[in-house]
Amino acid sequence: MKHLTILVPTGDGNNLSSIVGAFKIFSRANAIYKQRHGHEVFKIELVGLNDCEQYYGGLFSVQPQKTINELKKTDLIIIPSLNHCYEQAVDQNAAIVDWLDAQYHRGAEVASICTGAFLLAAAGLLDGKTCSTHWSAAHDFKERFPAVDLQIDQIITDEQGIYTNGGAYSFLNLIIYLVEKFYDRSVAILCAKIFQIEMDRNNQSSFAVFTGQKAHEDDIVRQAQLFMEDHFMENFSLGALAGQFAVSRRNFDRRFLKATGNTPLEYLQRIRVESAKKMLESTSKNVTEVMYEVGYSDVTAFRSVFKRITGLTPIDYRGRYHKSALV
C-alpha cells in the first residue's frame, strides 16, 4: 500500500477546506477501490509540524496524526492552500520546506493546491518547471520565484512528479486528476459524480479579474497605465503615448513590461477585455455593441483577444455569467 501525506502547515491563515476536501475525496476513492479490488491504494495521514493547529482564529482545529519528524518516507504529498498568507506561511514552515525537498528526492510525488505552490517553490522543486497558482497571487509569485515557469491560465500542471493547480475550489479538479492517475479513470469518474465535480477542466482564465499591477516605482509607466484605463475605449497609438513621456517606443515597452509584467499592448487588451466581461455579465448589450464600446472595430480581432485572455468566446462567457443565465 502506498502512503499519502496531507500536510497541515502551521499558521492561522491556512485553508481548511483544501485539507478536508483532499481527505474526503481520497478516502472515498479508497473505499470504492477496496470494494472493487479488495484493498486500498493509499494509507492516508495528516502530517504537520505540531500535534494541533488552530485555524480561523481558533474556530477550527486540526490534529495531525504524525509530525514530519515521525514520517521518514511517503509516496504522495498534498500541500494545501495558504490563502493570502503565503509569504508568512513560507517563513513559519521552513522545516516543512526542507522536508518537502528531502521527500521529493527520496521518490515522493508532490501536489500543491492554490497558494500552496509558494511552499513548493520555496523548496526549489519548481525551478525550471511549469506551475499554476491563484491568479491573484501571480505577481507576488513571479517576483519571488523568477526561475519558475508560471502558467497562470492553467488549472493543473503535471511535470516530473510535481503537480500544481490554480485557485480556490479548483483544487477539487486536481484531486480528481490525482485519483485518476493513482487509481483509475472509472474511480475518478465515480468520485466526480459523488462530489459533483466537473471532470477534465483545465483552464482558470475566465475566473481572473484584471486589476493592473501598480506596485512599482516607475512613475512614467504608472501615468501611462492611468491614461490607458481612462481612454481604453478610444483609438490611440501606443507609440504616440510613449512620445507623450519623451521616451522611445522600445524603451517604453521595456519599462512597461518590467513594471507590470505585461507589454503596453497586452495591458490595453486586458483592460478592454475586463470592461467587456463586466458588460457581458450585467447588461443586455449584444457582443457587437460591447466590442465597439471597449475600443474594438473588428469582430474577429475582438473575439480572438477575448478568448485568449478568458478561455471563452464572448458568447460563451455571456452564457455562463450573465445575470439572466444565472437565474
Cα–Cα–Cα angle for 214, 92, 108, nearest 5°?
100
Which tens digit of pLDDT belongs to each residue from 81-134?
A: 998 888 899 999 999 999 999 999 999 999 999 999 999 999 999 999 999 999
Q: Are 165 and 171 in contact (CB under 8 A)?
A: yes
Homologous superfamily (CATH) of 2-205 is Class I glutamine amidotransferase (GATase) domain (3.40.50.880)
pLDDT score at 141: 94
- Enter the C-alpha cell of residue 134: 491563484
Provide DSSP, 162-181. EEEE-SGGGHHHHHHHHHHH
Contact 190, 176 (CB under 8 A): no
- Provide the pLDDT for residue 326: 44
Query: Would you kindly state where each structural domain of the chain is located, as residue ranges?
Result: 2-205, 219-326
pLDDT at residue 203 in the model:
58
Number of DSSP helices (H) and strands (E) in the chain, helices first: 15, 11
Q: How far apart are CA 89 and CA 96, in angstroms?
A: 10
CATH code for 219-326?
1.10.10.60
For residue 262, give the DSSP letter: S
Cβ(143)–Cβ(177) below 8 Å: no
Alpha-carbon gap, residue 10 to 160, rounded angstroms: 27
Which run of H or E residues covers position 141?
A: helix 138-144
- Residue-level pLDDT at 41: 97
Residue 204 pLDDT: 58
Task: Transcribe 205-253 into DSSP letters.
Answer: GGG--------SS-HHHHHHHHHHHHHTTS---HHHHHHHTT--HHHHH
Give the Cα-Cα-Cα angle 97, 106, 101 (nearest 5 degrees).
Answer: 15
pLDDT at position 207: 55
Which residues, 6 or more positions from 108, have their beta carbon under 8 angstroms from its beta carbon?
5, 73, 74, 75, 76, 77, 161
pLDDT under 70: residue ranges of the chain: 13, 200-209, 211, 323-327
